[in-house]
Amino acid sequence: MAALTIRDVPDDTLATLKARAAQAGKSLQAYALDVLVGEASRPTLAEVAARAEAEASASLSASDVLAAIDDARAGR
């Protein structure tokens, strides 16, 4: 795992994060790691849009669609 150092955190922001960490029963480091992991796990709007664009541009023929319907019906 890599290390991360954040400099010049405003005093009021640091105080808020320390208080939230204490309320969660965590160290500031553990709390900040949870916040960063949570943020990284959620896709950005641009990432969602790119995925939607890729899915929308997929080309399916009518026979592909009919075959999928037939497969779904056969699985009932």
Convert the pLDDT of each residue in 23-41 to its tens digit: 999 999 999 999 999 999 9
Residue type present at position 14:
L
Residue type present at position 29:
Q
What's residue 59's pLDDT?
80
pLDDT band of residue 62 (cuts 50, 70, 90) is confident
What's residue 24's pLDDT?
98
List the one residue out of 33, 32, 37, 9 whose CA is nearest residue 20.
32
Mean pLDDT on 4-30: 97
